[in-house]
C-alpha cells in the first residue's frame, strides 16, 4: 500500500517542505530509504523501527520503501523521523490517509517513542504557513517556538502514541495558543551607560551610531573604556519590532542557540567573537553553508575587540555584508543568502604597546612597528566605518565623581525618537535606518544648505575623501539632525559628522 505524508527540514535559515512517500509491499522484510538522505536521515530507519515497536504500534514485516521528495535535494537532520513513522502506519492502513490532509509532521524519535526537540522549528512553521497548511505537529520541547504565528494551528506533541491517538480521533490534542511576542519585550540590562565615567565624545558617538545604525571604530589606549562602552551599546538600541524579533528567533532556532525551552529572542543580539575566529565562522560556510557571526548579529551588534589581531583575510570578508546587508555563499551543494544587517562596533589600540598619543605613558614602539600594526586594517575596510574616534584615558577626577552618568533609558528615548523619523521617511524603500540608505536615498534626503555645501566642498578636497566617505558623512549628519529634531542638515550637523569620521587621522 502507498501513503504520502508531509514533513519538513531546513536549508540555510529557511524551512523546506519534504514529501515522504511510503510503499509497503509483499516480499522479503527490508527497509529502503531513498531521496538523497544524509547519514542522520539514513539512521532514522532504526529509530523509527524501535519507536514503533516500543510504542506498541505495528511495524510491517514486509518490504518498505520510503522516498523523500524532491529527490535532487540533500536531506539533513533528524526532523523527518515522525513523518516517516506516520507514513509507515498509514501505508499499513493503521491510520487513514484522509486524516493527514493539510498537516505537516516534524520531530526526531527516541527509541522509546518520545518525540525529541529539533532545530529550526520556527522556520518550518513559517514555511508551512506560507504553503497554506492548516496544522503542523512539532516536538513538545519546541512549544515556545510554536505560539509565535497566527493563522496556523500548532500542536506540541510529547510522544508517538499521543500523536497517533489524536489522528485516530481517540484522544484529541489541544493546539497552542498564539501570543503577542512583544508583550514581555522590555529588557532590564545588568549594565548601563550610567556606569561610564567621562568619555563624553565616545558616548555621543555611540548614541549617534545607535540612532542611525552606523558602524563605529574606537581607538584608544588600554583601559580607557572601549570595551565597556561597546558592551553598553545594545542597551540604547530601539526595541525590536515583531518582524525583527521573528527574524532573530528564526536564525537562532536554525543554529540551535535558542535558550532552553526555546525562549524567544526579544532583545537585540550582541556578538563578540574572539580574534582567532576563522572566516567561515565569521561569515558562514561549511559543505552545506551555515550562518556565521555576521548573521547571528542580524538586527543587533557585532563587536570586534582588538581589531588588528584578527586575520586580515578574515576581516576583508566583512566588506560585502557591510555594503549589502546580506551574505551570499556558494558551494557545490547549495547557494545560500543569509541576512546580515548589523551594527559593526570595533575597538583597537593605536599601536602595539597601546600608548601612542597617550597623555601619561610614553609609546615604546618603533615607527615601523606602528606602521605595520596600523596596516593590518586595509583602507577599503577602514573606509566602511561611518565614525572613527579617538578615546583618551579617563581623569582621576572623572573616575571618582559620585554623580551617575546619563542612564541608558534616557539615551534610548532619544534614539527611538530619531529612529521613528527615519522609519517614516524610509519605510517606502524597505529601509529602517539612515545607515541603510543607498545613493538614491542620500541624494533625496541628505540635502545640504548653502553654508553646509561649501563646508563639504572644502573638506572633500582637504581630506581627500572618497565617494563612499562623502555619502557616509552625509548619512551621519542626517542622523545628527534627526536627533536634534531638525529636517534640514546644517553646517553644525555636518561639522560634527566630519569630526567623528576623521578624528583618528589627526
Q: What is the pLDDT of residues 322-344, one digit of tens each?
A: 999 999 988 776 788 999 999 99
Per DSSP bridges, beta strands 103-105 and 135-139 are parallel
| Separation CA 489–CA 494 (nearest Å) | 7
Residue 364 has pLDDT above 70, yes or no: yes
| Separation CA 69–CA 111 (nearest Å) | 25
Model pLDDT for residues 132-157, shown as the tens digit of each residue = 999 999 999 999 888 888 889 999 99
User: What letter would DSSP give residue 448?
Assistant: B
pLDDT value at residue 288? 77
Residues 331/349, Cβ–Cβ less than 8 Å? no
Residue with cell 528567533: 249
Task: Provide the mean pLDDT of the chain.
Answer: 92
H helix and E strand count, the chain: 21, 18
Helix axes 467-483, 200-212, angle to 10 degrees: 100
Report the percentage of the chain scoring pLDDT > 70. 96
pLDDT value at residue 183? 59
Strand partners of residue 328? 337
Q: Higher pLDDT residue, 85 or 259?
A: 85
Residues 52/88, Cβ–Cβ less than 8 Å? yes
Place 252 in a pLDDT band, splitting at 50, 70 and 90: very high
| Separation CA 453–CA 171 (nearest Å) | 74
| Separation CA 115–CA 79 (nearest Å) | 10
Residue with cell 561569515: 283
Strand partners of residue 16? 9
Phi, psi of 439 (to 5 degrees): -55, -35
Phi, psi of 303 (to 5 degrees): -110, 120
Cis peptide before 70 (omega within 30 of 0): yes
Strand partners of residue 339? 326
Residues 347/377, Cβ–Cβ less than 8 Å? no
Nine cell digits for residue 14:
529557511
HEC-encoded secondary structure of 366-403: CHHHHHHHHCCCCHHHHCCCCEEEEECCCCHHHHCCCC
* Closest among 51, 297, 15, 252 to 159, alpha carbons compared: 51
pLDDT value at residue 502? 77
Residue with cell 529601509: 431
Residue 185 has pLDDT above 70, yes or no: no
Residues 348/308, Cβ–Cβ less than 8 Å? yes
Q: What is the mean pLDDT of residues 304-318?
A: 95
Nine cell digits for residue 404:
551617575
pTM for the complete prediction? 0.91
Residue with cell 559543505: 287
In this predicted structure, which of 12-16, 334-338, 387-391 has the lowest mean pLDDT?
334-338
* Closest among 299, 297, 295, 301 to 338, alpha carbons compared: 295
pLDDT value at residue 506? 38
Place 192 in a pLDDT band, splitting at 50, 70 and 90: very high
pLDDT value at residue 503? 62
Nine cell digits for residue 503:
578624528
| Separation CA 355–CA 363 (nearest Å) | 5
pLDDT value at residue 505? 46
Where are the alpha helices (H) located in 220-300, listed in sequence order?
A: 226-231, 242-254, 279-283, 293-296
The strand order across the sheet containing 270-271 reads: 270-271, 301-304, 343-348, 216-220, 387-391
- Please work out, in degrees rounded to the nearest 5, the angle formed at the alpha carbon of residue 83 by the alpha carbons of 80 and 86: 150
Integer distance in angstroms from the first to the last C-alpha of the chain? Answer: 79
Model pLDDT for residues 35-56, shown as the tens digit of each residue = 999 998 999 999 999 999 999 9
Residue 226 has pLDDT above 70, yes or no: yes
| Separation CA 416–CA 433 (nearest Å) | 11
User: What letter would DSSP give residue 427?
Assistant: G
Q: What is the mean pLDDT of residues 9-31?
A: 93
Residue with cell 534614539: 415
Amino acid at each position: 500500500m502507498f501513503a504520502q505524508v508531509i514533513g519538513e527540514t531546513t536549508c540555510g535559515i529557511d524551512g523546506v517542505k519534504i514529501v515522504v512517500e511510503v510503499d509497503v509491499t509483499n516480499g522479503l522484510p527490508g527497509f529502503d530509504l531513498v531521496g538523497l538522505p544524509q547519514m542522520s536521515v539514513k539512521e532514522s530507519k532504526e529509530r523509527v523501527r524501535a519507536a514503533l515497536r516500543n510504542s506498541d504500534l505495528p511495524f510491517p514485516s514486509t518490504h518498505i520503501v520510503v522516498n523523500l521528495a524532491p529527490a535532487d535535494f540533500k536531506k539533513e537532520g533528524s526532523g523527518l523521523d515522525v513523518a516517516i513513522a506516520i507514513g509507515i502506519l498509514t501505508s499499513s492502513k493503521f491510520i487513514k490517509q484522509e486524516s493527514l490532509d493539510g498537516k505537516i509532521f516534524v520531530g526526531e524519535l527516541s527509541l522509546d517513542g518520545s518525540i525529541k526537540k529539533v532545530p529550526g522549528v520556527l522556520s518550518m512553521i513559517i514555511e508551512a504557513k506560507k504553503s497554506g497548511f492548516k496544522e503542523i505537529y512539532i516536538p513538545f520541547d519546541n512549544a515556545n517556538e510554536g505560539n509565535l504565528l497566527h493563522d496556523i494551528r500548532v500542536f506540541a506533541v510529547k510522544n508517538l502514541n499521543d500523536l497517533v491517538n489524536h489522528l485516530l480521533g481517540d484522544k484529541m490534542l489541544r493546539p497552542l495558543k498564539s501570543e503577542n511576542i512583544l508583550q514581555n519585550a522590555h529588557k532590564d540590562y545588568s549594565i548601563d551607560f550610567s556606569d561610564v565615567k567621562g568619555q563624553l565624545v565616545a558616548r555621543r558617538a555611540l548614541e549617534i551610531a545607535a540612532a542611525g545604525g552606523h558602524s563605529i571604530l574606537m581607538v584608544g589606549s588600554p583601559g580607557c573604556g572601549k570595551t565597556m562602552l561597546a558592551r553598553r551599546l545594545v542597551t540604547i538600541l530601539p526595541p525590536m519590532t515583531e518582524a525583527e524579533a521573528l527574524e532573530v528567533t528564526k536564525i537562532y532556532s536554525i543554529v540551535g542557540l535558542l535558550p532552553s525551552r526555546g525562549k524567544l529572542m526579544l532583545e537585540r543580539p550582541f556578538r563578540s567573537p574572539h580574534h582567532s575566529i576563522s572566516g567561515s565562522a565569521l561569515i558562514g560556510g561549511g559543505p552545506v553553508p551555515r550562518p556565521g557571526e555576521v548573521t547571528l548579529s542580524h538586527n543587533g551588534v557585532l563587536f570586534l575587540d582588538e581589531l588588528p589581531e584578527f586575520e586580515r583575510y578574515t576581516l576583508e570578508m566583512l566588506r560585502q555584508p557591510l555594503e549589502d546587508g546580506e551574505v551570499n555563499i556558494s558551494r557545490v551543494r547549495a547557494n545560500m543568502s543569509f541576512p546580515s544587517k548589523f551594527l559593526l562596533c570595533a575597538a583597537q589600540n593605536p599601536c602595539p604597546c597601546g600608548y601612542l598619543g597617550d597623555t601619561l605613558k610614553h609609546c615604546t614602539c618603533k615607527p615601523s612597528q606602528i606602521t605595520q600594526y596600523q596596516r593590518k586594517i586595509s583602507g577599503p575596510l577602514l573606509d566602511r566605518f561611518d565614525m572613527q574616534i579617538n578615546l583618551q584615558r579617563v581623569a582621576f577626577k572623572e573616575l571618582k565623581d559620585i554623580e551617575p552618568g546619563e542612564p541608558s533609558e534616557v539615551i534610548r528615548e532619544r534614539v527611538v525618537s530619531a529612529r521613528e523619523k527615519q522609519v517614516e521617511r524610509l519605510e517606502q524603500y524597505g529601509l529602517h535606518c539612515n545607515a541603510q540608505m543607498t545613493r538614491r536615498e542620500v541624494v533625496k534626503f541628505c540635502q545640504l544648505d548653502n553654508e553646509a555645501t561649501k563646508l563639504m566642498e572644502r573638506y572633500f578636497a582637504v581630506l581627500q575623501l572618497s565617494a563612499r566617505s562623502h555619502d557616509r558623512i552625509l548619512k551621519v549628519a542626517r542622523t545628527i539632525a534627526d536627533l536634534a529634531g531638525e529636517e534640514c542638515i546644517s553646517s553644525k550637523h555636518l561639522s560634527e559628522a566630519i569630526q567623528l569620521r576623521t578624528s583618528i587621522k589627526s
